[in-house]
A and B are shown apart, each in its own frame.
Chain A
C-alpha cells in the first residue's frame, strides 16, 4: 500500500521508498529523512485543498509531503 493511500490516523510501518526515475533525488532525500524499512509512520493531517499535502509523522518528526512524494513510499498497515 502506498503512503498516499493510508487513511488518516491509521498506524503503519514503512516498507520502502521507490525511485520514480533513475537516481531520484526526492526518493533519496526521503530515505535520508528516515523513511526506511520498519519505521512506524502515520498520516496526521490532510491539506485543506485537494487533500494535499499530507502531514506525515515518522518517529517523532512531522513532515509535510505532497501526494506525489508520498506515492514513492510503500507501507504495511499494522493489524488494528
Chain B
C-alpha cells in the first residue's frame, strides 16, 4: 500500500552538493561541478522509497540567503512557501549544508527554519569533513536546532542512505514561522556562533591542500603563468590527441563508402548514400574525438574547483573590458557551446555585466566550429614543428581561439563605452575547496556530450545533408550541357547567387552555399562542402581536404577560418539570446555586430593574404 506522493525540495548554499545529492537520490545525471551556481534552473526527479512511497524531488538553484533584493533568491523563497505560481508548497524541505563550511551554511539553515515549514538538515561532504578532522556532535546539533539532522556523502555510492531513510519516515514537525527583518537577521550570526561553539570542533579553518595549491595558483606571477599554460595545453591536446583518431574514423568511413558503392547500382541512390551520408556525415562524425578531448579538459577543470581561481585572476582584466570575473565560467563553457554558456550567465547578478557577457559569448569558439577549423587547418596549414615543441597546426588553432577572445574583449570594451553607467558592479564570489575530479562524473559528462552530438548528427545535420545532396543533384543538366552537372542544379544557382555577397572575401560559390546550412548547425558546413565536392566529382580521391586544397587558395581558406571565428551563426544561439534576455533587440544587435565584424575581418584577411602571397 503506497501512500501519496511526497514532494521534497532541496535547498542550500551554492556548491554544497545539492545536485550531486539529487542525482544520488533519483539516479539522475544532472550536471555537477565545483563552483557556485551550476544549477540555474529548477530540476525535478522522482524515485520510490523503500516503503513504496513515491518521492518527488525538486532541485533548486543554490542561494546564500533570502534577501529580497535578489530576484533569484526571492523565487526560491516563493517556491518553498508555496507562493510561486503553479507550484504547490513542498511537503518537506531538505536543507543541504557543506559540513566543512558550517559557519556560512548554518546561517541559511536557520533562515530556512524560520519559514515555518518541515525541514530536514543534510550535512553533506562528511567524507571531506572527516579527512580534515572536523568533528560534529550531530545529536547535540539536532537537539539545539530542533531539526532532524542526517549525514550524507553525495559523491559516494550509497552516501545518501541516511537521508533516504529519514525522508521516508514521518514528516518532521515544523518550527514556528518567524518574521524576516534586518535585526533578527543580524541575530542569526550570533546563533550560528553559539551552535558552532557547542557542536563543532575544527582543527584548522581551511584544508591544508587548498592553502598549498592557492599559494601557487593565485600567485600574482606564477598564477597567471599557470593559467596560460593550462589553457594552451588544452588547445594543443585537442589537436594532437584528437587528430589521429579523427583521421582513423575518416578512413573507416571512406572505406565503408567505397564498399557500399559497389553494392548499390550507380545512380541517385548510390550518390546519396556515398556522397551524402558517408561523405557528409562521415566527415562530421570524425570530429567527435576532438570535441571529446576538449570536453574532457573542461569537465576536469570544472570539477577541480580551479575555474573560480581563474575568474579571480582575470577579474581586473575582464572588468577593464566591461565584463567581470564572473563572466569567465560562462565564457569558458561557451567554448563547448554558446547555449549553456549564455544560460550560465544567470549566475551574474548584475544586469549590465550579464548582457555584456551574453553578447560576447558567441565569439568564444564553440565545439561546433572545431570540425570546420580542423578541416581547413588540416588542408592548408603544413604539419611542422615550431621551436621544436609546438605544432604549427595547433598554433593556428590556438590563434583562432585567441582571435575570438580578443574580439570579445574589444566588443566588451565598446559596450562599456556606449553603455556608460556609474553604478557599482559587485564581484563577491566564493572560492570552493579543491576536489579531485571523479572519473565517473567525467565519464558521464563525456557520454552525455557524445549523445548530444550523435543526436544532432542524426537529426538536424542529417536532414540538412540530405537536403544539400538533393539540391546539388537536381535538376539534372539539360541535354547538351557542357559545364559540370552541379552548375545546373539548385545548389549551383543558389551558390552562384550568394557569391556576389561573399566574393570580396574570397569565397567561391561552394563555400557561399555551405554557409546556409551552417547557420542551422556549424558542423554542417563540412558535410555540405563534402557533399557538394563529391557530387561535383572532385572529391573521389583523397577526401575532402584534398578537394579543398586543389580548389582553394590559402587566402580564401584563412578568410573562411576568420569568418567562422566571428560570424553570427547557429540559430539556436540567437534563440537562446532571445529567451534569456527577453528581447528581439538584443538578438538583432548580436546578429548585426557579428556579421559586420566577420565581414570586415574576412575581407581584410583575404585581401592582405593575397597581397602577401601573390
Which A residues form the contact surface with B (CB < 8 A)? 20, 25-26, 28-34, 36, 39, 44-50, 52-53, 55, 57, 59-66, 68-69
Contacts and interface: CB of A to CB of B under 8 A. Distances in A.
A63 B316 contact: no
A60 B205 contact: yes
Contacts of B185: 31-32
3 nearest CB pairs, A to B: A59-B103, A48-B220, A49-B316
Interface stretch (B145-153, B239-247, B424-432, B435-443): B424-432
Interface string B194-233: 0000000010011000100010001111011000000000
A75 B325 CA distance: 25
Given A53-B316, A53-B427, A63-B430, 17 more contacts: A25-B69, A29-B65, A31-B185, A32-B67, A45-B218, A47-B220, A47-B315, A50-B316, A60-B100, A60-B103, A60-B104, A64-B311, A64-B312, A64-B315, A64-B430, A66-B426, A68-B424
A53 B101 CA distance: 22
A48 B315 CA distance: 10
Contacts of A57: 205-206
Contact of A48 (B224, B308, B429): B224
A31 B111 CA distance: 14
A53 B429 CA distance: 10
A32 B185 CA distance: 8
B490 interface: no
Contacts of A63: 428-431
Of B224, B319, B424, B430, most A-chain CB atoms within 10 Å: B424
Contact of B315 (A20, A29, A53): A53
Nearest to A28: B67
B313 interface: yes
A66 B318 CA distance: 13
A26 B311 contact: no
A49 B220 CA distance: 8
A69 B427 CA distance: 8
Given A34-B189, A53-B316, A26 B214 contact: no
A60 B101 contact: yes
Contact of B104 (A28, A46, A61): A61
B398 interface: no
Nearest to B102: A60
Interface string B407-433: 000000000000000001011111100
Contact of B312 (A20, A53, A59): A53
B107 interface: yes
B430 A62 contact: yes
Nearest to B425: A66
A28 B427 CA distance: 14
B426 A69 contact: yes
17 contacts: A26-B424, A29-B67, A30-B428, A31-B185, A34-B189, A47-B313, A48-B221, A48-B223, A53-B316, A55-B218, A55-B312, A57-B205, A59-B205, A60-B102, A60-B206, A61-B103, A64-B427
A34 B104 CA distance: 7
B196 to A, nearest CB: 9
B186 interface: yes
Contacts of B218: 44-45, 55
B48 to A, nearest CB: 37
A31 B308 CA distance: 22
Interface string B174-187: 00000000000110
Contacts of A49: 316-317
Nearest to B326: A64
Contacts of A47: 220, 312-313, 315-316
Contacts of A53: 312, 315-316, 325, 427
A26 B426 contact: yes
A57 B315 CA distance: 18
B64 interface: yes
Interface in B55-104: 64-65, 67, 69-70, 100-104
A62 B107 CA distance: 16
Given A26-B424, A36-B186, A65-B428, A45 B214 contact: yes
Contacts of B224: 48
A8 to B, nearest CB: 11
Contacts of A29: 64-65, 67, 69, 426, 428
Contacts of B311: 64
Nearest to A61: B104
Interface in B268-321: 308, 311-313, 315-317, 319
Contacts of A28: 67, 69
Contact of B430 (A45, A50, A52, A61): A61
Contact of B313 (A48, A60, A62): A48
Contact of A66 (B202, B220, B315): B315
Contacts of B70: 25
Nearest to A66: B427
A53 to B, nearest CB: 5
A32 B206 CA distance: 20
Contacts of B429: 63-64
A49 to B, nearest CB: 4
A65 B101 contact: no
A79 B308 CA distance: 33
Nearest to A68: B424
A34 B431 CA distance: 15
A60 B107 contact: no
A15 to B, nearest CB: 14
Contacts of A45: 214, 218-219, 312
A22 B64 CA distance: 22
Interface string B154-197: 00000000000000000000000000000001100100000000
Nearest to B223: A48
A27 to B, nearest CB: 10
A78 to B, nearest CB: 15
B424 A34 contact: no
Nearest to A37: B189
Contacts of A50: 316
A33 B101 CA distance: 12
Contacts of B186: 31, 36
A62 B428 CA distance: 10
